[in-house]
Amino acid sequence: MPPTRQTASPGLETPLQFVKGVGPQRAALLARKELHTVADALFFVPHRHEDRTRLTPIRALVPGAVVTIEGTLGGVSPPPPGRARQPLQAMVTDPTGRIIAIWFGQRYLVKTLQRGQRLVLHGKVDRFRGALTLRVEDFEIVESDGEDDRLHTGRLVPVYSTTEGLTQRPLRRLMWNIVESYAHEVPEMLPEPIRLRRKLPGLADALRSAHFPESETALAAAHRRLAFDDFFLLQMGLAILRARVTRSRGIAMNPPGALVRKLRPSLPFALTRAQERVWGEIREDMASPYPMHRLLQGDVGSGKTIVAALAVLTALEAGHQAAIMAPTEILAEQHYGTFHRLLEPLGLEVTLLTSALKPKERAARRAALAAGEIACAIGTHALVREGVAFKNLGLAVVDEQHRFGVHQRARLRGKGERPDLLVMTATPIPRTLALTLYGDLDVSVLDELPPGRQPVKTVSRTETKRAQIYTFLRDQIAAGRQVYVVYPLVEESEAIDLKAATDMARQLQEGPFRDVRVGLLHGRLGSEQKDEIMRRFKAKEIDLLVSTTVIEVGIDVPNAAVMLIEHAERFGLSQLHQLRGRVGRGPWKSYCILLTSGSPSEDAKRRVDAMTETNDGFRIAEVDLELRGHGEFFGTRQSGLPEFRVASLPRDTAILEDARKEAATIVATDLELRVPEHRELRHQLLARWRGKLDLASVG
């Protein structure tokens, strides 16, 4: 076997500590930024560039503008002792005027800033008590150091993310050294034809320009190149995973369809056109000898469960087992109830597996599954535990799949011999963006809600309206509806929040809702208690359910038509949308009341506005993506996919499309990247996917 080729030049692997001008102390600071080697540093691109050929004179500043100025520091006033949260202030003057510079949350700067220093400051101009202020986003102290000046003035100057003890100028100087000494060693990974076709600069050039560009054009080209690489490596990996699936042999399940035919007339509704279409797509996948690998995307309430049930019946009729995994116990219980109701009349047994089972019962159920005595298992991630085995798993369904990582998905699939996989999600993602996360899946979309659904009327209210809101809730209950009152529960303050929810339930029961039945549901209850509460709510023995976000996903109680969300400002947008999806599931007019308190942040206001403006999950997802940025939106870390170094969505969507097409052409001809021109690509791919791809013949 030939030795693994060392593609990367050894210089790139140099620990930063040994780079000229670094040393152990600075290396420790750099490590805080996850920068350990020269290669890390090269890809640590500035978060912006500043055109230092154009500084704004202080006299020309107007409130609202984001500007860069240069001036001399007057007196510095730190926040008074014990008021650490107050900002640090200093007067800055230039020949044209003066302005108060303000720093928030950076008390330590007291030690750095001194009267008489020259500074370049970047930030937003504001007016406070009649005086002009600059809210500083970043700044640097100008010290003339001879020939280095050309790095810091009169050009497009990189501005890096700094950390305490590591300021802008020395960091910039260090980056200059590294780029000058090592950028040329970075091996080109993109095959030449792609680079030419997409008009992308070479990698070494792109890195140089990403840090110290000669022009705006060079900077833009560098960004395109680096973003392309991010997407390309992601898409390559996804395309490889996908090609492996579609080329491997799976289970062909193509029974006559007797069970599905028996089930249909027992449903209280006819499937929507969208459900029929998606079911057709799934059935075809199942019948084919290749493993199905399909994402079913449908807004909350679009009826995904019944589609999954048809797939389950098909697997069972074909003589295989099926498993359905849900992210919460409450949802697993609900699915168990639904499937039990649907399957039992057909003589099929369903079993439930959660962590809440007593050991003896768990062992019995596991044994029955392993022996193939039970055909269908529903559960939480308890399903993918070691020790759970199936006799012949043919279909794995993952509900609310955004709550799981790729590993759990893979582990469920691993419980069988290449079973068909159906993953379902109510987090709608703009189509092009679905490609980043789900590029290894086929996508079906339920783009139609069952008939008769009315959009949920959503309003935003403040504390002053509480009495009227309660009157409204009571009227709704009197009219026969049920109500959710949702409390936020954030982990950091779980105990306090839990108490708030508990107190609220008691106060409601003892006060304004004396004459109705109030229930309380939260994650800390034992699973038997949780079941009991959900059972009573479904059976209409509880009128008003105070709950934490444990009801966020999947819960389906059509008679519950009203939801009051307390502290709506504390929830994320997609979370609000998921919560709202619990109502509007029946023929009644439904309502969602967002109660905000305090003075919500700008972002919180935009979230609440988006909710009151639209019920469309796709529109909500777009706003959410804008507000949160792609990293958080996709939960990249949780998903287990490689993270982007430079690319950003939705900004770079067009580049993503290009990268996807190019990845597809390569995978079509050289799936395992064996040809010499793809060597470096292969090397980079393995590095970025950190073992999750292991290409067939490494080394």
Size of the site for Mg ion (CB under 5 A): 1
Residue 306 interacting partner from Mg ion, ligand ADP, none (CB closer than 5 to 8 Å by kind): ligand ADP
Q: Does 302 bind ligand ADP (CB under 6 A)?
A: yes
Describe the crossing of helices 431-438 and 216-247 by its angle, rounded to 10 degrees: 60
Single out the residue of 49, 304, 362, 678 in contact with ligand ADP (rule: CB under 6 A).
304
**Which positions from 408 through 427 interact with ligand ADP, judged by CB under 6 A?**
426
Q: Report the distance separating Cα 240 and Cα 646, nearest Å.
A: 23
Among 612, 611, 487, CA closest to 544: 487
Residue 450 interacting partner from ligand ADP, Mg ion, none (CB closer than 5 to 8 Å by kind): ligand ADP
Residue 302 interacting partner from Mg ion, ligand ADP, none (CB closer than 5 to 8 Å by kind): ligand ADP
Least distance between ligand ADP and beta carbon 264 (Å): 11
Residue 545 three-state SS: strand
DSSP 634-648: HTHHHHTPPPPSS--
Q: Does 327 bind ligand ADP (CB under 6 A)?
A: no
DSSP 447-461: --PPTT--PPEEEEE
Phi, psi (rounded to 5 degrees) for 457: -75, 120
Single out the residue of 57, 430, 450, 640 in contact with ligand ADP (rule: CB under 6 A).
450
Residue whose C-beta lies closest to ligand ADP: 303
Q: 614 with 620: CB under 8 angstroms?
A: yes
Single out the residue of 271, 498, 664, 671 in contact with ligand ADP (rule: CB under 6 A).
271
Q: Report the distance separating Cα 123 and Cα 366, nearest Å.
A: 61
State which residue, 551 or 595, has the beta carbon closest to ligand ADP: 551
Least distance between ligand ADP and beta carbon 439 (Å): 23
Binding mask 563-602 for ligand ADP (x = CB under 6 A): ----------------------x-----------------
- Those residues whose C-beta lies under 8 Å from the C-beta of residue 451, and which sit 6 or more positions away, are 272
- Whole-angstrom Cα Rg for the chain: 29
Least distance between ligand ADP and beta carbon 31 (Å): 45
Residue 212 three-state SS: coil
Least distance between Mg ion and beta carbon 304 (Å): 5
Residue 133 interacting partner from ligand ADP, Mg ion, none (CB closer than 5 to 8 Å by kind): none
DSSP 489-542: --GGGHHHHHHHHHHHHHHHHHTTTTTS-EEEE-TTS-HHHHHHHHHHHHTTS-
State which residue, 497 or 556, has the beta carbon closest to ligand ADP: 556
- Locate 293 and state its tokens: 């690998």
Give the interface segment with ligand ADP, choosing from 16-24, 210-218, 301-309, 483-491 (CB under 6 A).
Answer: 301-309
Residue 255 interacting partner from Mg ion, ligand ADP, none (CB closer than 5 to 8 Å by kind): none
Q: Does 306 bind ligand ADP (CB under 6 A)?
A: yes
State which residue, 235 or 401, has the beta carbon closest to Mg ion: 401
Q: Does 428 bind Mg ion (CB under 5 A)?
A: no
**Which positions from 514 through 573 interact with ligand ADP, judged by CB under 6 A?**
556, 558
Least distance between ligand ADP and beta carbon 577 (Å): 11
The Cβ-side half-sphere exposure at 644, using a 13 Å CA radius, reads 27
Give the interface segment with ligand ADP, choosing from 295-303, 369-377, 508-516, 630-638 (CB under 6 A).
Answer: 295-303
Q: Does 333 bind ligand ADP (CB under 6 A)?
A: no
Q: Does 272 bind ligand ADP (CB under 6 A)?
A: yes
Q: Does 97 bind ligand ADP (CB under 6 A)?
A: no
Q: Does 301 bind ligand ADP (CB under 6 A)?
A: yes
The Cβ-side half-sphere exposure at 205, using a 13 Å CA radius, reads 13
- Count CB atoms within 10 A of the CB of residue 539: 9
Single out the residue of 158, 213, 554, 581 in contact with Mg ion (rule: CB under 5 A).
554
Q: Report the distance separating Cα 272 and Cα 281, nearest Å.
A: 14
- Count CB atoms within 10 A of the CB of residue 494: 14
Least distance between ligand ADP and beta carbon 298 (Å): 5
State which residue, 554 or 586, has the beta carbon closest to Mg ion: 554
- Locate 510 and state its tokens: 């003892």
Q: 524 with 512: CB under 8 angstroms?
A: no
Q: Report the distance separating Cα 511 and Cα 516, nearest Å.
A: 10
Residue 303 interacting partner from Mg ion, ligand ADP, none (CB closer than 5 to 8 Å by kind): ligand ADP
Measured distance between the N- and C-terminal CA atoms of the chain, rounded to whole angstroms: 7
Looking at residue 166, the DSSP 8-state letter turns out to be B
Phi, psi (rounded to 5 degrees) for 93: -125, 150
Q: Does 298 bind ligand ADP (CB under 6 A)?
A: yes
State which residue, 304 or 678, has the beta carbon closest to Mg ion: 304
Interface residue list for ligand ADP (CB under 6 A): 269, 271-272, 275, 298, 300-306, 426, 450, 556, 558, 585
Residues that bind Mg ion (CB under 5 A): 554
